[in-house]
Amino acid sequence: MSKLRALIIEDEQASRETLANYLSKYCERVSVVGMAENIAIGQELIAEHNPDIVFLDVEMPYGNGFDLLEQLESIDFELIFVTAFSNYALKALNMSASYYLLKPIDIDELITAVDKVCARIEQKEDIRSGQILKNNLHVEAHRLKRIVLPEMEGFEVAQLKDIVYCKANDNLTDFVFVDGRKKTICKTLKHFEEVLSESGFFRIHKSYLLNMEHVKGYKRGKGGYAELSNGEELEIAVRRKGDFLQQFVG
């Protein structure tokens, strides 16, 4: 197999050079053909080199990695995000990125990421993960279809339609599924509110984030109660009542 052409798009010179050095030393199947310090140069290099893999930093001056993807007509390469921000990493996975690496880069994680990408390319999959990511950016006004739930030994990819609601559990969040299953995730409810707010989920209470697709009715009260598809009734905070009812207008 010929070497895979890789680009590194990262604003920090030291980070670019470190990653390039790691790839040269530990990932012999990859050849770095170019490096860019911003998305404008990155876009030019992508057009020039037609890379197999792009290592893309998320937060950069003059636009982030998602802005770059939006500007490309098509994405014919595999994508590996490199970021210091775990919330971006989660978003990247939610949007079907091949892999993500958190800074500082762990060599074993880098090798695993490259191996995964090489396997995808060898299988000659017709749809590259980067293109899926771009498509997801445009689907139903940025509504996600799936969410990645991190676990101790990896992660679970859950369909949003299968989640009835999320419940705050101190600094954790309990997910309740249509099949009655529950899963506790080491992230706050506020975190998932930010991730899911544009995907049909609504915070009715400090403790509850509902999938509005599973709301089957409303019971009057001071704030009222949301009646859900699994038979549960959850309290609505008084200050959230108006916004909740507004979801059903029009």
pLDDT for 76 equals 83
Which residues, listed in sequence order, are joined to residue 211 by a DSSP beta bridge?
201
Are 237 and 114 in a shared domain?
no
d(CA 85, CA 83): 5
Alpha carbons 56 and 34: distance in angstroms, whole number: 12
Say if residue 68 is in the same domain as residue 157.
Answer: no
119/102 same-domain check: yes
Please give the Cα distance from 115 to 93 (Å, whole number).
Answer: 17
pLDDT of residue 84: 72
134 lies in the same domain as 203:
no
**H helix runs in the chain, sequence order:** 13-26, 39-49, 65-71, 86-94, 107-122, 129-138, 189-196, 238-246
In this predicted structure, what is the pLDDT of residue 189? 93
pLDDT score at 150: 76
- Taking the model in full, what pTM does it have? 0.53
What's the average pLDDT block by block, 10 residues per block, for the chain (250 residues)? 89 94 95 94 94 87 74 83 66 57 88 86 57 50 67 78 96 95 91 86 96 94 94 96 84
Neighbouring residues of 189: CB distance < 8 A, sequence distance ≥ 6: 166, 167, 168, 173, 203, 207, 209
pLDDT of residue 77: 87
> Do 238 and 152 share a structural domain?
yes
> Same domain for 186 and 207?
yes
**How confident is the model at residue 206, as a pLDDT?**
96
- Paired with 100 in beta bridges are 81
164 and 113 in a common domain: no
CA atoms lying within 13 Å on the CB side of residue 12:
12
C-alpha distances in Å from residue 67, one per residue of 54, 58, 59, 96, 98: 15, 9, 10, 16, 18
Question: Please, are residues 25 and 73 in contact by the beta-carbon 8 Å criterion?
Answer: no
Whole-number pLDDT of residue 126 = 44
The pLDDT value given to residue 202:
96
Q: From the CB of residue 51, how many other CB atoms can be counted at a distance below 10 Å?
A: 21
What range defines the domain where residue 167 resides? 146-246
Same domain, 20 and 43: yes
108 and 187 share one domain: no
Q: What residue type is assigned to position 6 of the chain?
A: A
Total domains, the chain: 2
Residue 186 and residue 165 share a domain: yes
Q: Which pLDDT score, from 0 to 100, does residue 149 have?
A: 83
